Amino acid sequence: MFKKVFPLSAILSLRFLGLFLVLPVISIYALELEGATPLLIGIVVGGYALTQAVFQVPFGAMSDKIGRKPTLLVGLLIFLVGSLMCAYSTDIYMLMIGRFLQGAGAIGSVITAMISDLVSEEIRGKAMAIMGASIALSFALAMGLGPVLGAKYGVEFLFILTAIFAVLAMILLFTKVPTPPKIKHTYHATAKTSDILRDPNLLNMIIINAMQKGLMTIAFVLIPIILTSDAFSWQKADLYMAYLPAMLFGLAAMGPAAIFGEKHNKPKEIFLLSIVLFIASFLIMGLTTSSLLFVVGVILFFIAFNMMEPLVQSMITKFAKVHQKGAAIGISNSVAYFATFIGGTSAGLLLGMSDRETIGISVAAVAGVWLLWTLKLQNPTKYSHLYLPQDTVNINKLQNMENAHIAEWYINDTEKLVIVKYASLAIQKDDLIAQISK
C-alpha cells in the first residue's frame, strides 16, 4: 500500500507545501503591494480557492473519463504557470491573477480518487491517513520555513520555490506513480450531482469539509496581521514561533484521531470535538491580550484542523459508490474551496470594518451553529468486501441481490476480480458466496 500511496501523497504535498509556504505571511506582505486594501488582501489569500471551486468538479469528472495521470499533468502545468506569475507580480492585481491560476490546477480530488482506485476500502483509511500526514508535514515545514524565508528573501522567493515543487511533482508523476487498475462499474447511469447531494451522508461530509476549509482561510488572514499589529507587535520573522508549535501539536493529534475515527468507527465524535476546539480557538484569539494565550488559540485551531483532515476525505470515499467517487470528491472539494474563498474575503472585509474581539466572537458563533448541525450526523455503516475471481461469479444472481444486502459491486478488469461490498451483519460471507457463485 505504501508504495502506491506515497508517490501520490508526495505530489499533493509538494503542491500544498508551495501554497502553505506563503499562507503564514502573504497577508502582511500583500499590504506592501501597490493597490492593496484589506478586501483585496483577503481575496489574494483565498483567491486560489475560488478557481479550485470552479475546476474541482471538471477535473474530477475528466479524470473519470480520460484517466487520472493525464488530468494530473494538466493541473500541475497550470499550477506552475500561476506560481511563476505570483513570483514576478508588481502589484496586488497581478498577484491576484497568479493566485487564481494556482487554484485552477485543481488536482486534489483526482489524487484522492486515484488513491481509492489503488487501495481496497478496508485499508483506505490508512491510505488517507498517510496522505493527511504528508499534508500535515507540509504544513509543519511551511509554518516553520515560510516566515523565516519570506522575511529574509521576500515572498517572491517562496513562489519560485512553489514553481520548483510543481516541476518535481511532474517528475514523480511519470517515474513513481503506478497506473491504476481499469475499473468497470455496473451502473446504467453516470454519476449525477443531484444523486450525490440527495445522499444525507455525503451532504453532511460536504458541509463539514467546507466549514473546515473556510475557517482555515479566516485564520490565515487574521493570525499574521493580528500578531504583527500594535496589539502584540511581533516581527514578521517571529511568526514561526506561533505556527511551528501549533503544527507539531496538530500533527501529534492527527494519528489518534484517525485511529479512533476509522478503527472504532467514531468519526462523528472526532468531528464534534474538533468543532468545539475551533470555537475555543477563535474566542481565545479574539479576546485575549496575552501573546502566550493567543498562541494557545493558534495551537487549538491546528489541532482541530488536523484531527478532521484525514477523516473527511476517507468518509467521502466510503459513502460514495464506485462510479461516484471522482464526482463526489470533486463536488466536496469544490464547495470546500468556495468556502475557503468566502472565508478569506470575509476576513478581509471584517478587518476593514470591525475589531478583533467582534471578529473572534462572530466566527465562534458561526462554528456553534455548525456544531448543532453536526449533531445529527450518523457514523457510517460497516461493510465487508469480497474479492472473487470473475469467472466464478454469476453476474445475473449478483445483480438481483444488489438492493438487498449488497451495497455495491464492481469489476476490476485488470485483475479479473469481482469486488462485492456487503453488509456483514446481515449476511454471512459463505452464504453470500453460495448465492452468487456459478
Which parts of the chain have pLDDT scores under 70? 1-2, 120-125, 128-129, 132, 136, 181-193, 322-323, 325-326, 402-404
Same domain, 281 and 427: no
Same domain, residue pair 192 and 315: yes
Cα–Cα distance measured from residue 165 to residue 129, given in angstroms and rounded to the nearest whole number? 22
Which residues, 6 or more positions from 144, have their beta carbon under 8 angstroms from its beta carbon? 240, 243, 244, 247
Pairing of β 406-412 and β 384-389:
unpaired
- Residues 141, 204, single domain; the answer is yes
Domain's final residue, options 355, 374, 393:
374
Q: How far apart, in whole angstroms, are the C-alpha atoms of residue 241 and residue 60?
A: 38
Last residue in a domain, options 338, 353, 374: 374
Are 104 and 76 contained in the same domain? yes
Task: Kindly state whether residue 139 falls inside one of the protein's structural domains.
Answer: yes
Q: What CATH number does the domain containing 22 carry? A: 1.20.1250.20
Same domain, 288 and 397: no
**Non-local CB neighbours of 373 within 8 Å, separated by 6+ positions:** 207
Domain-located, residue 361: yes
Residue 297's region, left for phi above 0, alpha for psi from -120 to 50, else beta, is alpha
Residue 244 belongs to some domain of the structure: yes
Say how far residue 427 (Cα) sits from the centre of its chain.
Answer: 35
Instruction: Give yes or no: residues 352 and 395 share one domain.
Output: no
Contacts of 259 (CB under 8 A, 6+ apart): none
Residue 182 and residue 117 share a domain: yes
Rg over CA atoms, the chain: 22
Count other Cβ atoms within 10 Å, centred on residue 433. 14
For residue 150, give its domain range: 2-374
Domain shared by 227 and 95, yes or no = yes
Q: What is the pLDDT of residues 46-104, one digit of tens each?
A: 888 888 888 877 887 888 788 888 999 999 999 999 999 999 998 999 999 999 999 89
Which CATH number is 397's domain given? 3.30.70
Are 413 and 365 in the same domain? no
Number of domains composing the chain? 2
Q: Could you report the per-residue pLDDT of 338-349, keeping only the tens digit for each?
A: 898 899 999 998
Of 332, 355, 374, the residue at which a domain comes to its end is: 374
- List pLDDT tens digits, range 233-290: 998 778 888 988 888 898 889 889 888 887 788 899 999 999 999 999 999 999 999 9
Mark whether 257 and 329 lie in a shared domain. yes
Q: Does residue 379 lie in a domain region?
A: no
Domain membership flag for residue 364: yes
287 shares a domain with 410: no
